[in-house]
Copies of this chain bind each other. A is one copy, B any other.
Amino acid sequence: MEFELSDRAKDFRERLQAFLDERVYPAEREYVDAVRSAATPHVHPPLLEELKEEARRRGLWNLFLPDPEHGAGLSYLDYAPLAELMGRTMIGAEVCNCSAPDTGNMEVLHQFGNEEQKAQWLQPLLDGEIRSGFAMTEPDVASSDATNVQLRMERDGDDFVLNGRKWWTTGVMHPRCRILIVMGKTELEAPVYAQQSMLLVPLDTPGLTILRSLPVFGYMDPEGHGELEFADVRVPQANLIAGPGAGFLIAQARLGPGRIHHCMRALGAAERALELLCARADARETFGKPVSTRSNIRDWIAEARIEIEMARLFVMKTAWLVDTVGGKNARVEVAGIKVAVPSIALKIIDRAIQVHGGAGVSDDFPLAWMYAHMRTLRLADGPDEVHKLSIARRELRRQRGEAEPLM
């Protein structure tokens, strides 16, 4: 066992740190103001494009993709400290072309797409020219149980015809969004885990309507979280990814890495919140003493440091497992970090808000925004309770000495 980062990870981290310090943090205020002053929340301020160019120039581009040809070729373990740094700022991931849901979509296309699909959609995504959405969650059912997904995809000639509704399709309001990966039912007669398929649906396909964008707490995010209606949306069968009935399998393959990425970035948010907490506690006085001298605030600081350390180690070990034995064999750990890390980050952000008083719930600091979005991680992509259930099931089996089932 050994806890040192690789030289490669250190080099990337140093360069990314420099980029953030020199270019990204200084642009945060401008970004927030540009969004606030725009006529619509769904804007893409030009400064983001400048930062993207700069990131690419510095070799800080597509760091998430383990494939060395299309991405940086970093292992999960080496990518983790970089994702953490990106998670410190609301624009960090986007400027390095490492933001969800594009990362997951690129991985799906890279892993499961055919050559034509890659040429048409993967390349412009890798180049940061377009953005994308992933439409899985539906408003009328509990999506934590993936077999609940109901959107119908019926074969008609060479096409699929889609009818149904999706929501929380993140990214769909982004001015550059062009393509969706949509999960729906194609194989009604198949076993329950083989009924669903994944389909590429261009955003401008007739019959596809964006009904609205959903707010997160009061935030209307630039990239948006769309509620979509599919009314006889017609797409060629060639748009199928990997084959009929592969939807559940692809979802599994896609969501694992996505969960890890979320957790890595959550650590960055937690670190930044702790940094802000300490600075504010040093800067403010009550009853004649800096707040940072109070032992209850010191307890918060210590607990934050302890919990961040534990959470980071758990994320790193999970990344290492994915690198060495594969995501399928790291399912318990992936579920574990998905449950543990957002809760830890939320507690720290909440305490940082408390130390900031009114400033903490406003937009003068990124804390309220962080809190609102971190809160969604406890329910997006399966609520905590579903992940705990699966961890407990395996623990009970292991304790009983039972063999693991194949699926």
User: A: which residues have CB within 8 A of B?
Assistant: 1-6, 77, 137, 139, 141-145, 148, 167-168, 214-220, 225, 274-275, 278-279, 281-282, 284-287, 291-292, 294-299, 301-303, 305-307, 309-311, 313-314, 316-317, 320-321, 332-333, 336, 339-340, 353-354, 357-364, 368-369, 371-372, 375-376, 378-380, 383-389, 391-393, 395-396, 399-400
Contact = CB atoms under 8 A, between A and B. Distances in A.
Contact of A388 (B143, B303, B354): B303
Q: Tell me which of A167, A216, A333 has the highest count of chain B C-beta atoms within 10 A of its own C-beta.
A: A216
Contact of A362 (B216, B284, B301, B307): B216
Most buried by B among A216, A218, A379: A218
5 A-B pairs with the lowest CB-CB distances in the bound complex, closest first:
A218-B218, A218-B219, A298-B392, A302-B388, A313-B313
A396 B274 CA distance: 10
Given A145-B286, A296-B299, A314-B310, A362 B215 contact: yes
B399 A279 contact: yes
A282 B214 contact: no
A145 B364 CA distance: 22
B358 A380 contact: yes
Contacts of A395: 274, 278, 301-302, 305
Contacts of A225: 358
Give chain A's interface secondary structure class.
helix
A273 to B, nearest CB: 12
Contact of A378 (B141, B294, B303, B354): B354
Contacts of A143: 357
Given A143-B357, A302-B395, A217 B219 contact: yes
Contact of A1 (B6, B275, B303): B6
Nearest to A385: B296
A218 B366 CA distance: 11
Contacts of A363: 214-215, 218
A324 B4 CA distance: 11
A295 B295 contact: yes
B279 A389 contact: no
A217 B372 contact: yes
Given A302-B391, A303-B388, A383-B354, A291 B217 contact: no
Nearest to A284: B142
Contacts of A217: 217-219, 361, 368-369, 371-372
A358 B214 contact: yes
A357 B278 CA distance: 29
A228 B226 CA distance: 36
B292 A295 contact: no
A307 to B, nearest CB: 8
A399 B275 contact: yes
B306 A391 contact: yes
A299 B388 contact: yes
Given A1-B316, A305-B336, 15 more contacts: A139-B359, A214-B363, A217-B372, A278-B400, A282-B399, A294-B385, A296-B298, A296-B299, A298-B392, A302-B339, A302-B387, A305-B395, A313-B313, A353-B375, A358-B376
A326 to B, nearest CB: 15
A219 B310 CA distance: 33
A369 to B, nearest CB: 7
Contact of A216 (B77, B313, B361, B383): B361
